């Protein structure tokens, strides 16, 4: 149930995440009247603003991050009037009594803390909140990824949050799960009887899960040097998409049932051995090309850095539904385009009826689930060309959310913030899922640490990653599906 009043407290309010994602998401909820009438947003950061200066700062920034059609000066000023700012260092406890007094004066029915801070503070802030009694029943806390840097640190963080909050108060956010197409994977699978019967090893040959972007690290060298692509994207975002694609139908769609099935997928991943990692994990790093810097030339990056900006691997699931079906992950910076999608490759028909016809090539069916951009779904299948003979051509049956007209695509952060406000943790990550994921991917980190000379392949900016990643998938099945443009239609796909 939505509270009658609430306070939204952002730790790290002067950072990029706040102005790029959080404030625009809250503005969306505001203009759509999905916030309580009485609410406040309290920004917390070390930058020495007062409330008025912070509001002016946000106003000067928001035109870049709020869509032009949504911009209304009166609405912007009305929304910003709900925002205040406290100058304090979240790493030091002397500011927390001031925050406590400020929240007591507000008297809000619900309080949400959002940790838009560096991960080093994820274990600090909850301790101080508990010390000063700011972790009561009416509070919830949203934590950004990465939740831990390995299994041991994730366990330590979980212990801290168990000691300071109830699990029902902790919301570990993965904004991918707030995207409509990610959620639509569940509807596509479980609401349509024509797909679920073939969603298994008997009909599916292999699955690709790709999330690449045509940007570098954008002045985040300090963070990226400690994280790398595997920690930043694979252990959380991509494995969540794997779970949506591979999970069994929940008994009912509630938080416990849904998240139980997610954990079952993670626990079914075939454990990694050193030999398997050596043969089935590829890491790369982008190199200078044209006017673009290589990773090692970026600010705050070591000149001999071995941090990966590209990661590819084969994942296997040991259960009845998916045994023998490989899943391929691919993530990368400075690629030719920005896209996140799942491509499901179905097996060829058991009898190629037209295979003997000269010039005729039968193709396996392919399903593309596009998460971003231009969210949508496309199914590719063979149809007979008009005329004599049985010459076939692949055609598309597609759906794109943009074609729904008046139906608006919701912002992922807005959806998840509202879920937290309503007390619905379904699309947030549970403690056991975090540990199960790290238990699996941590083996790769241990391998890299044990074998520091593990190959790190270079790839020029604007290419599809190191060529070795092609051999990873080609040695098992086919080739990567590389979208040439930011379009859902598969006639815009090309292969390296």
> Residues at the annotated binding site for substrate?
175, 179, 213, 232, 333, 338
Give the whole-angstrom CA distance, residue 309 versus residue 314.
Answer: 17
Question: How many other CB atoms are there within 10 angstroms of residue 464's CB atom?
Answer: 21
Give the whole-angstrom CA distance, residue 8 versus residue 29.
Answer: 13
Question: How many other CB atoms are there within 10 angstroms of residue 180's CB atom?
Answer: 19
Q: DSSP letter at 429? A: B
Give the whole-angstrom CA distance, residue 306 versus residue 296.
Answer: 9
Return binding residues.
12-19, 46, 145, 175, 179, 213, 232, 333, 338
Return binding residues for NADP(+).
12-19, 46, 145
Q: Is 237 annotated in the active site?
A: yes
Give the whole-angstrom CA distance, residue 435 versus residue 157.
Answer: 10
Give the whole-angstrom CA distance, residue 460 versus residue 414.
Answer: 36
Three-class HEC string of 147-183: CCCCHHHHHHHHHHHHHHCCHHHEEECCHHHHCHHHH
Q: In sequence order, what are the beta bridge partners of 460?
A: 287
Question: Using alpha carbons only, how large is the chain's radius of gyration in Å?
Answer: 24
Q: What are the angstrom distances between the C-alpha of 90 and each of 100, 116, 125, 228, 229?
A: 13, 11, 6, 25, 27
Q: What are the angstrom distances between the C-alpha of 147 and each of 109, 128, 158?
A: 28, 18, 9
Give the whole-angstrom CA distance, residue 48 versus residue 43.
Answer: 12
Q: Which of 77, 237, 356, 391 is catalytic?
A: 237
- Which positions are annotated as active-site residues? 237
């Amino acid at each position: 149930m939505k509270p009658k009043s609430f306070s939204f407290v952002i730790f790290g309010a002067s950072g990029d995440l706040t102005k790029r994602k959080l404030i625009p998401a809250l503005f969306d909820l505001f203009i759509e009247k999905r916030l309580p009438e009485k609410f406040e947003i309290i920004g917390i950061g070390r930058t020495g603003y007062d409330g008025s200066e912070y509001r002016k700062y946000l106003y000067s920034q928001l035109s870049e991050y709020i869509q032009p059609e949504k911009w209304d000066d009166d609405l912007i000023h009305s929304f910003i009037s709900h925002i205040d700012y406290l100058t304090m260092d979240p790493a030091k406890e002397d500011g927390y009594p001031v925050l406590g007094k400020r929240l007591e004066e507000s008297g809000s029915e619900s309080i949400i803390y959002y940790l838009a801070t560096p991960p080093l503070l994820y274990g600090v802030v909850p301790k101080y909140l508990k010390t000063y009694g700011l972790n009561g029943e009416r509070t919830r806390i949203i934590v950004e990824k990465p939740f831990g840097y390995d299994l041991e640190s994730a366990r330590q963080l979980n212990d801290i949050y168990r000691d300071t909050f109830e699990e029902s108060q902790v919301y570990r956010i993965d904004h991918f799960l707030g995207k409509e197409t990610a959620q639509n994977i569940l509807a596509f699978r479980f609401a349509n009887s024509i797909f679920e019967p073939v969603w298994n090893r008997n009909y599916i040959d292999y699955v690709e899960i790709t999330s690449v972007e045509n940007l570098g690290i954008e002045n985040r060298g300090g963070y990226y040097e400690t994280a790398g692509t595997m920690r930043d994207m694979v252990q959380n975002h991509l494995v969540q998409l794997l779970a949506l694609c591979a999970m069994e139908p929940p008994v009912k769609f509630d938080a416990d049932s849904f998240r139980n099935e997610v954990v079952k997928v993670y626990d079914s991943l075939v454990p990694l051995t050193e030999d398997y990692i050596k043969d089935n994990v590829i890491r790369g790093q982008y190199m200078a090309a044209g006017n673009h810097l290589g990773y090692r030339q970026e600010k705050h990056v070591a000149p001999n850095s071995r941090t990966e900006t590209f990661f590819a691997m084969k994942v296997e699931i040991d259960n009845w539904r998916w045994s023998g079906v490989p899943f391929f992950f691919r993530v990368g910076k400075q690629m030719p385009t920005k896209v996140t999608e799942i491509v499901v490759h179905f097996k060829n028909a058991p009898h190629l009826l037209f295979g003997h016809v000269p010039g005729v090539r039968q193709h396996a069916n392919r399903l593309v689930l596009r998460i971003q951009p231009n969210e949508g779904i496309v199914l590719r299948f063979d149809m007979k060309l008009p005329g004599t003979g049985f010459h076939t051509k692949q055609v598309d049956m597609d759906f794109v959310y943009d074609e729904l007209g008046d139906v608006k695509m919701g912002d992922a952060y807005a959806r998840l913030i509202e879920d937290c406000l309503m007390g619905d943790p379904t699309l947030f990550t549970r403690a056991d899922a975090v540990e199960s994921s790290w238990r699996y991917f941590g083996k790769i980190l241990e391998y890299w640490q044990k074998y520091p000379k593990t190959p790190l392949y270079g790839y020029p900016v604007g290419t599809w990653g190191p060529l070795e990643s092609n051999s990873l998938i080609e040695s098992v099945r086919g080739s990567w599906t590389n979208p040439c443009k930011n379009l859902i239609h598969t006639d815009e796909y090309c292969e390296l």
